[in-house]
Amino acid sequence: MLKKSLTIAGKLLVAPALLLIASPSISSAQNQCPIQQAKMAAARKTMKVSIAAPAEKDIVDTAVGAGSFNTLVAAVKAAGLVETLKGEGPFTVLAPTDAAFKKLPKGTVETLLKPENLKTLQSILTYHVVPGSVMAADVVKLSSAKTVQGDPVAIKVTDGGVMINGAKVVTTDIKCSNGVIHVIDSVILPPKKADIVDTAVGAGAFNTLVAAVKAASLVETLKSEGPFTVFAPSDDAFKKIPAATIAELLKPENKAKLASILTYHVVPGKVMAADVVKLSSAKTANGQEVAIKVVDGKVMVDGATVVKTDIDCKNGVIHVIDSVIMPK
């Protein structure tokens, strides 16, 4: 019996899974007293084998491997976002399943995957991504979350579960090396934004500015892709100028002068308030530069005070100013 037990012990000692070196030899073990042998056997029973867990895959590879996100993966590839979502992150992805994409009207996916709709596709996909790794336990504490696209998604906890806009979260906390995936049962779409001109019209506080843009034939320009940053004088700002001066500027013969004034209020690119305050000047579409400075916590553009910031538009952003600024 002793020889049989030693043989078994020998096999355990050299088993590859335990990665142990048999020492002392079986012959020396045979010379040990029964008490020593019992201690050794007890020690072997209490030893814990540590086996490294397989490394987590990144978000893209996890989605590919799941087999239920084929449309999402195809869209990510078409949008040129693979490298981004394989990056360090971390990201929280609200991932629509293949079944979720099938809920969209027939032909929608095919249209979105076309090269000419790249920006629209990117906007939709990044609307499903939240910066950081937000686990389900933290999601339920939120009422909204800002997405990489820029707009927030609404989060609501109901008796039926967690809703992201109109989509239901069906699986949570799929951990990835660079973030986490929560599965949703519908594709969520970002809110539609108006262009700069339509935003100004809809606001109701820029009637004179809109009339001037029309008179200067700049409507088509400011409705184009851009992006543009517009320092928009309100109707009250225009009231600081004599009515006769405005009437004169709106005459067809003064179209070039009016266009020069209006384009002095436009900076190429989309410059949000957080970046405006870092500038001392900015070159306008007019060709001249406006001076920018922060005085007592207020941002001044030439002699005008910025009274409202970051009105986000489809083709840029509007910052409201309290005076009309004039080119040199």
Domain boundaries, the chain: 2-46, 59-184, 196-321
Segment 175-192, tens digit of pLDDT: 999 999 999 999 999 988
Q: Is the pLDDT of residue 270 over 80?
A: yes
Q: How confident is the model at residue 230 (pLDDT cuts 50, 70, 90)?
A: very high
Question: What per-residue confidence (pLDDT) applies to 105?
Answer: 95
Segment 132-174, tens digit of pLDDT: 999 999 999 999 999 999 889 999 998 889 999 999 999 999 9
Q: How confident is the model at residue 33 (pLDDT cuts 50, 70, 90)?
A: low
Residue 130: CA atoms inside 13 Å, Cβ hemisphere, count? 22
Question: What per-residue confidence (pLDDT) applies to 123?
Answer: 94
Dist CA 44 CA 8 (whole Å): 12
Instruction: Indicate the pairing of strand 91-96 with strand 179-184.
Output: parallel
Question: What per-residue confidence (pLDDT) applies to 11?
Answer: 39
Q: Is the pLDDT of residue 200 over 60?
A: yes
Q: Who's near 159: CB < 8 A, 6+ residues apart?
A: none
Average of pLDDT values for 25-29? 41
Yes or no: say if 89 and 181 are a contact pair by the CB < 8 Å rule.
Answer: no
Cβ neighbour number for residue 202 with a 10 Å cutoff: 10
Question: What per-residue confidence (pLDDT) applies to 36?
Answer: 53
Q: For domain 196-321, which architecture applies?
A: Roll (2.30)
Segment 57-90, tens digit of pLDDT: 999 999 999 999 999 999 999 999 999 999 999 9
Dist CA 318 CA 201 (whole Å): 12
Q: Is the pLDDT of residue 97 over 50?
A: yes
Yes or no: say if 266 and 284 are a contact pair by the CB < 8 Å rule.
Answer: yes
Question: What per-residue confidence (pLDDT) applies to 292?
Answer: 98
Instruction: Indicate the pairing of strand 316-321 with strand 228-233.
Output: parallel
Question: What per-residue confidence (pLDDT) applies to 41?
Answer: 55
Phi, psi of 312 (to 5 degrees): -75, 135
Average of pLDDT values for 296-305? 95
Q: What percent of the chain has pLDDT over 70?
A: 83
CATH superfamily of 59-184: FAS1 domain (2.30.180.10)
Same fold, 59-184 and 196-321: yes
Q: Which of 85, 105, 108, 107 is nearest to 95 (CA)?
A: 85
Q: What is the pTM of this model?
A: 0.60
Q: Higher confidence at residue 105 or residue 1?
A: 105
Q: Which of 13, 9, 32 is nearest to 22 (CA)?
A: 13
Phi, psi of 48 (to 5 degrees): -105, 130
Q: Is the pLDDT of residue 43 over 90?
A: no
Burial class of residue 258, CB neighbours in 10 A (0-12, 13-18, 19+): buried
